[in-house]
Chains A and B, each alone.
Chain A
Amino acid sequence: QVQLVESGGGVVQPGRSLRLSCAASRFTFSSYGMHWVRQAPGKGLEWVAHIWYDGSNKYYADSVKGRFTISRDNSQNTLFLQMNSLRVEDTAVYYCARDERTYCSGGSCLFDNWGQGTLVTVSS
């Protein structure tokens, strides 16, 4: 059974940085595209970023473009999200999610497995 375990969340002041990790196991991590999806308290889901299976391409939501960087280490089966210049509105539970394919292409993105999430609180 696919396992995704996020870590790195916490309380941080506006303007500061935080790095999230997602440890993957029980599947061939290097064969799947990966995503970060977030959920603000009491709100709905928002896609944040996507990275191809080999790390060669990365895509971001407009709300985080230029501030967040998605990356992966296939040798360590780990996905990362570097979050810089954090804002109060970035407060959310951040989920890592596996795509059903090597990458999410135009027309179809399918999040077939999700981690349990890690809470990021941006507050002064």
Chain B
Amino acid sequence: QSVLTQPPSASGTPGQRVTISCSGSSSNIGSNTINWYRQLPGTAPKLLIYSNNQRPSGVPDRFSGSKSGTSASLAISGLQSEDEADYYCAVWDDSLNGPVFGGGTKLTVL
């Protein structure tokens, strides 16, 4: 069981805006920056958002991140079928002295 809690699933229709939450504690999200990774079916994870709300080159601005206290969120606007994937939050945990991942959220585009 991960120290970061994500909903196991989320869904939306094309064009819709969806959000995925990531809940932690003062030893991780509360004191460090959070990153998000996307894993398309059958492929390796890929960096999606870093430092809470920054997008790597090539990631469209439909993807945005935010953090407040011990929780963080990933928002996807203008949902597209190709957004169907697993999404993971990740952050350094001061108590464990290492990086930790959330359990992942499977996004379905209806």
Measured CB to CB, the residues of A under 8 A from B are: 37, 44-47, 50, 59, 61-62, 95, 100, 104, 106-117
Q: Output the least CB separation between A49 and chain B (Å).
A: 9
Identify which of B32, B44, B86, B97 contacts A114 (C-beta below 8 A). B44
Cα separation A114 to B90 with both chains bound (whole Å): 15
Residue on A nearest B88 in the bound complex, by CB: A45
Cα separation A112 to B43 with both chains bound (whole Å): 15
Beyond A45-B39, A45-B104, A59-B98, 10 extra complex contacts between A and B, CB < 8 Å: A45-B88, A47-B99, A95-B44, A95-B45, A106-B94, A107-B33, A109-B98, A110-B35, A110-B50, A113-B47
Residue pairs across A and B with Cβ atoms less than 8 A apart, 12 shown, are A45-B39, A45-B45, A47-B98, A95-B44, A95-B45, A104-B92, A104-B99, A106-B92, A109-B98, A112-B50, A114-B46, A117-B44
Identify which of A46, A59, A112, A115 contacts B101 (C-beta below 8 A). A46
Which of under 10, 10 to 19, 20 to 34, or 35 or more describes the interface residues of B? 20 to 34
A111 touches B47 (CB 8 A): yes
Q: Tell me whether B56 is interfacial, beta carbon within 8 Å.
A: yes
Residue on B nearest A95 in the bound complex, by CB: B44
